[in-house]
A and B are shown apart, each in its own frame.
Chain A
Amino acid sequence: MVTNTAAGTPPAASPIVYELAGITKSYAGQRLTALERVDFVLRKGTFASVIGSSGCGKSTLLKIMAGLIPPSGGRATLDGTPVTGPRADIGMMFQQATLLPWLTTLQNVLLPIEVRDGKAAAREARPRAMTLLQTVGLKGFEASYPDQLSGGMAQRAAICRMLVSEPVVFLLDEPFSALDEITRDFMNMELQRLCAAWEATAFLVTHSINEAVLLSDVVYVMAARPGRIAEIVPIDLPRPRTLDMVNSPEFGAYVRRIRERLDTGAFK
């Protein structure tokens, strides 16, 4: 059996980057628990996805992992230290590019550095940001304002903004779901290329089964009420993945397995 990961290393051999142990979340005044005992590890250079219907707690999970909200119980550990708030070594992408319209593309990319470490640090990081923009094909657009960028270009700038802090883990909250399907496919291939080049550890929240299977080394299927991981599906397809693979029988089998698990979850 071939075990190719995003970075080309077998998952079991690579070190643990992110660890969730018994993560539970319940909100005050609500009877239902949003998350119940979520455990998993992300290993260096692997791409993991969590998939589930709306309200299954996957966004809550991502926010806890990003240090944006505290869990009610359990522990999140990144790179050996517990996550107790937002951190520079966590990179995030959202459904919208959320570029600030009054900043140029370059200023937007440098924003995390500027907010965290000040203007001088942002100036120092300029060459790095320029290189990143070139990597994603936005060379020549540094001085453009966001309203001059297409949706796909804006998300590519958002990728640069995530990468500029050189994060240890990428947390991706349905980053391309607002794009049209053609652009989304293209961006997913771009994402795969970047993740391979960075040997990135990535965690994607999505509600597209195809997207999850196409990009991931492992897919966590979530069930709702309470939010929990119902099944872990390792994806054993060769890398690099191509859009053609979507039509292969192996791909279809993964999709079917995940869909069946999601269906039983939905009607339970």
Chain B
Amino acid sequence: MSTPDTARSDTVWVEHVALIDRIPRSLGMAALLVGFVLAWQLLCMSGAVPAILLPTPAETGADLLFVGQNLLSGGYVLKAAATTASEMLLGFAIATSLGIALGILVGETRFGERAVMPYLVAIDTMPKIAFAPLFVAWLGFGIASKVALAAFMATFPVVVATAAGLAAVDANAQMLFRSMGASRLKTLTRLKLPIALPYFFAGLKIAAVSVTAGAIAGEFMGGGEGMGQLIRVAAGQLATARVFSLIFYLSLFGLTLFVLVGWIERKVVFWRR
């Protein structure tokens, strides 16, 4: 008869599970956040940094609440947020459609692959943010210059991802479609584009992050009424707590777009679980 006790004493080698794997993930994340805030508080209390340059966690928290209230009650922050969000969404829409079109040109045609792709790669290596003053000069201080910069920054990841996806079709599947007498268009729509979808969505996720950067950079450069303008003004007044809380809410946009793309991907690319 073997009781649980003897069974345990028979065991000579057990797998060691690290502490971090034994606690819930949220607990680890919370612990890190608490540690960070604590260090921040200590830094403020030490006097090493002037209070005007680095707000305390408490001040920042209070300002987060204030800005949050303003957002919810439809104040000026909400108006700025709506402006930036529309710049981002328009830029995202342009980047997506342009990215698909150029991606198919580059990934599907020999001309695109051989003649267009080198230029796209060359442009992609440029620091695209440096084009911001040009877009302002061309399109003015309104929303258009921000949308253009956001789209400009977000298009390339979509192009590259779409082209890579179209190239990912294996030779057997192409041969199968050839043997079925499928036209080039049918092979594209029924085989290559579905295969490219997961790659395309990966590109969209990068684009979702890029449009935030593009819209804000455009606003820094060319004014307007968006979040970038609020951040610039707050920073100019050394209202650092405000800068932090504006950045916090701003990052929620990009995150929302990112999560939304991921959600749509799971619905569309259902076969990749």
Contacts and interface: CB of A to CB of B under 8 A. Distances in A.
Interface in B174-225: 175-182, 186, 190-191, 194
Contacts of B271: 101-102, 145-147
The SS class assigned to the B binding surface is helix
Interface residues of B, number: 19
Contacts of A67: 179
Interface in A93-135: 94-96, 98, 100-102, 111-112, 115-116
B138 interface: no
Nearest to A158: B176
B176 A102 contact: no
B180 A112 contact: yes
Interface in A67-109: 67-68, 85-88, 90, 92, 94-96, 98, 100-102
Given A101-B271, A102-B270, A147-B271, A116 B176 contact: no
Contact of A88 (B170, B181, B272): B181
Contacts, number: 49
B172 interface: yes
A85 to B, nearest CB: 7
The SS class assigned to the A binding surface is loop
A115 B194 contact: no
B179 A66 contact: yes
Nearest to B194: A102
A68 B190 contact: no
Given A115-B186, A115-B190, A147-B271, A98 B180 contact: no
Highest count of chain A CB atoms <10 Å: which of B170, B179, B180, B270 = B179
Nearest to B187: A115
Number of contact residues on A: which range applies? 20 to 34
Contact of A116 (B178, B180, B272): B180
Contacts of A86: 178-181
A116 B179 CA distance: 10
Contacts of A92: 175-176, 179
A98 B182 CA distance: 16
A86 B186 CA distance: 15
A115 B172 contact: no
Contacts of B191: 100
Given A100-B194, A102-B270, A115 B175 contact: no
A145 B194 CA distance: 15
Contact of B179 (A90, A96, A102, A147): A90
A115 B173 contact: no
A116 B270 contact: no
Interface in B223-273: 270-273
B180 A68 contact: no
A100 B181 CA distance: 17
Contacts of A101: 271-272
Given A68-B175, A100-B191, A85 B181 contact: yes
A56 to B, nearest CB: 19
Contacts of B173: 98, 100
Contacts of A111: 180
Contacts of A98: 170, 172-173, 176
Interface string B143-176: 0000000000000000000000000001011011
A115 B270 contact: no
Given A68-B175, A102-B271, A115-B190, A96 B170 contact: yes
Contact of B182 (A66, A94, A100, A115): A115
Contacts of A116: 180-181
Contacts of B186: 115
A115 B187 CA distance: 9
A92 B175 CA distance: 10
Contacts of A146: 271
Contacts of B190: 115
A92 B181 CA distance: 12
A112 to B, nearest CB: 5
The 4 closest A-B pairs by CB, nearest first: A101-B271, A86-B181, A115-B180, A98-B172
6 contacts: A68-B178, A90-B179, A92-B176, A92-B179, A96-B172, A116-B181
